[in-house]
Structures are given as structure tokens and as C-alpha cells.
Structure 1
């Protein structure tokens, strides 16, 4: 993936409605992004596999292969950041999108300016450590009794078994693990992990925490139980005493 901090980012816009593709292209090109377009899932997947895009805007409801299927197939090969475009009322589909590796979603009808903001936020964290805004130095390895995070390899081991996390699930776990026993509000997590200053559904955090616990729990209930909910506030990663 190119270093999007220093050079023009390349974005694939996928929607079966030409009007929406044209609108997104207009707003994104104003930010000097290079835009490719696809109108169906099959061609979008092929383009995403053949090119190294910095980000993909992917409509959920596509003819033939839908956005969930495209994301699922792409994640077998690449970790390109994906923002899903979904219609209001498709909450179950958004959760499913997170499960197969979507990084974010925007609800239709959307504000093009919000889309641009979310694109910028996601691109800012495209490098492995971009989301770390804390003063502490980046730790290459964090080791707990049941859980090991090797940051250089982006590898998470639970009882010495590697688990497969989406890029955002990994970012969230690593962020919490950097400051064990510290409580973070949902707003803090959206700001520091997702880079949302003004936009962002707090349920995004809850959904990722739920999926993270489920994946950890498959190999160690103790590791899953390290992620504590602080009711009315947020979350922390608690070190077993």
C-alpha cells in the first residue's frame, strides 16, 4: 500500500447507481484523490485484487455479488481499508459487514462531506501505528499470561494459538493493551482508534468489542474476560491479578 500521507491516495468507488458514483467522485477528487469506479461486485473484486487501492467505498446492495461477499472474498487476500455504504435500517447487515472485515460504514442517504471526513480518518490510520496518539513509545511486543501481541508482525496469540482479527479489531485490542487497567470512554476510542472527531456511532465500538471477545473466547475465556465493560463509561483491558 502506498504511503497516503505523502502521495495521492487511490480509491475505488463501488455502487450500482451512477449518480452516487459521480457525486462521490466529485467530492473525493476535490481532495486530490485518484478515483476508479465499479458498478457491480464481481468487477469490483477483480479490480481490488488487481490494484493496490488505499481505500474502497463499497455499496452493500449490489447486483450479483453483494458488498458482504466482496469484502469476505477480498479479506482472504488483502487488508485494504473498506467503508461500506448501507441504507438506513440495514443494521444487521452492518454488523455482518464488521464480521467479515469492513472497517467503517456510512448510512444512506449520506452527506458527501461526512464521507470525505471518514475517508480521511481511515487513511490517516492506514499505517500500522498511525492511530497511536499517546506519548508512550510503541511496544513491539505485549505479553500477558493468556495473550501475546506481536506488533511488528501484527500477530495476536491466545494460548500460543494465532487468532485472525480484522485490521480494526487488531487496532482496538492493541490500543487497549498499550494502557492496561486504564478506562477509555467510547468517545475516546472513536477519536484515537477510529480518528472520529465529529462523526461516529458509539455502537461501532460496542460491535467491535463484542467480536473481539468472541474471537478471544474461542481459545481462552480468561483472555476474553480481560476486556472489561465499565458500565456507563467505556472499556478497559484488565490484567489478571
Structure 2
């Protein structure tokens, strides 16, 4: 199963270093940023499952960053702040945060809150594909088994290359979310984008040829012109 990624945004180095130990010990992948602008840069290239973000930071504070993130993303956001007034909490939650934790805090409690948000997100958010078990992802009648590396459409088995399988898995793990060509290329090929757009387009076309009944009018992988692709059924 894909390792979940947490983006930690805080300009207090001691807090970042402490939380890195706790979350890495729990098996999470951790990205770090010192302000809202740096956090937004991470989100351009990285697939993030949860954000833990301080309110008071230079350049762009947590409230402003939360508003900006909510324009395009719906992963859970936990706000951290030494400002514990009810109005601050209401402001954070009204801007799109899912939880608000006051400083100082117990790191174990924060880990528990993060786990709870991730469980709720994957279980109830309609932009995340349903999971039959830890290895299987399902979207309508399209299913992939990440352990067996198998793909099926209804009762029909589909053979994909390793690259094609990885792209489809990436789209299914971010169902409903538009992924740019550069995002897809960096995540699958793990190298600088350069002229990777044509490579992504060829692989998407090949996947459609294999999973779609009518590749020219795709049912699963939709093109968002000028942006990228998303796994989202036609209405």
C-alpha cells in the first residue's frame, strides 16, 4: 500500500524536528515547509495526504495558505497555533481546516488526530476510491490489485505495463483530482520533467486503449484541457 505523505508547515525548527521523529516512526513520509508559500510549492509537485500547519508564520500565514489550498485540494488540514481563543479556532475551521490544535501539544495526541483525519478522509471522501482491502482500489467497475499487479474492468482482465499500472494507480488514489502532466511524470518517472508531457500523453492513450470501451470517448480517465488528467466518471 502507498506510503501516506504528511506535509508539516511550521517555522519553529524544534517542533518540526520533534514531529518528524514521531510521524516517521509511525511509517509516514514527511515533507517540511517553513511558511505557506513554501507549502504551496510542495503541493505543485507532490501528492500529499494530510497537512499539519501552523497559523503564525512569515511570508504567508496558515490562514491564508489554508484558503489557497482549499481552492483546489481537499486533503485534511490540521491547524497548529499558540492562539487558542475561540475566535481563532472558528476562523481556522471556517476557512477549511479540519481540526485545530493549540500549542503546546502532546505529540502523541497530534499523531492520533492525524490518523483519525486520514481514516475519515479515505473512508468518506468521495474523491478517494473505495478500498475493498489494503491492496485493492475500485472505481465503478474498474479495479486494481496493487499486490498482485492486476487490473480488471468488470469481469475482463487487463494487462498493463508497469508504467501504465503506476499511472492508473496514481489516478485512482486521487480520484476526482486533476493531476498535471508534470505531477504525473515526476511521481512515476522520478526525474526532471523537461519534455515529459508527450511521454505522459502516450501512456494515457495506451491505458485508454486497454480499459475503455470507446477510447475516443473515455468513461474513466478524463482530459482537463491545458491542465492534465483525472479519474472521474462522466455524468
What TM-score do the two structures reach when normalised by structure 1?
A: 0.50
Correspondent of 1:10 among 2, 5, 13:
5
Q: Could you tell me which residue of structure 2 aligns to residue 106 of structure 1?
A: 101
Question: In 2, Cα distance between the equivalents of 1:105 and 1:89?
Answer: 9
Between Structure 1 and Structure 2, how many residues are aligned? 126
Question: In 2, Cα distance between the equivalents of 1:39 and 1:63?
Answer: 8
Question: In 1, Cα distance between the equivalents of 2:43 and 2:90?
Answer: 22
Question: In 1, Cα distance between the equivalents of 2:82 and 2:13?
Answer: 16
Question: In 2, Cα distance between the equivalents of 1:56 and 1:82?
Answer: 5
Q: Could you tell me which residue of structure 1 aligns to residue 53 of structure 2?
A: 58
Question: In 2, Cα distance between the equivalents of 1:128 and 1:49?
Answer: 25
Would you say 1:83 and 2:86 are equivalent positions? Answer: no
Correspondent of 1:28 among 17, 23, 27:
23
Alpha-carbon shift at residue 89 of structure 1 (Å): 3.0
Which string of whole-angstrom CA distances, capped at 9 and with x for unpartnered residues, describes residues 20-41 of structure 1? 0001110000100000100111
Correspondent of 2:14 among 11, 19, 26:
19
| Rg larger for | 2
Question: In 2, Cα distance between the equivalents of 1:108 and 1:64?
Answer: 21
Alignment of 1:122-133 (within 5 A): 122-129=117-124
Q: Which sections of structure 1, spanning at least 5 residues, go unmatched?
A: 1-5, 131-151, 153-241
Q: Could you tell me which residue of structure 2 aligns to residue 92 of structure 1?
A: 87
Q: Which sections of structure 2, spanning at least 5 residues, go unmatched?
A: 126-139, 141-235
Matched residue SS, 1:125: helix
Question: In 2, Cα distance between the equivalents of 1:101 and 1:57?
Answer: 13
Alpha-carbon shift at residue 128 of structure 1 (Å): 4.7
Which string of whole-angstrom CA distances, capped at 9 and with x for unpartnered residues, describes residues 46-95 of structure 1? 21243220000000111121000000001111112100001143432221
Q: Could you tell me which residue of structure 1 aligns to residue 66 of structure 2?
A: 71
CA contact (8 A) 1:11 1:53 kept: yes
Moved over 4 A (4+): none
How well do the aligned residues superpose, as a CA RMSD in angstroms?
A: 1.7
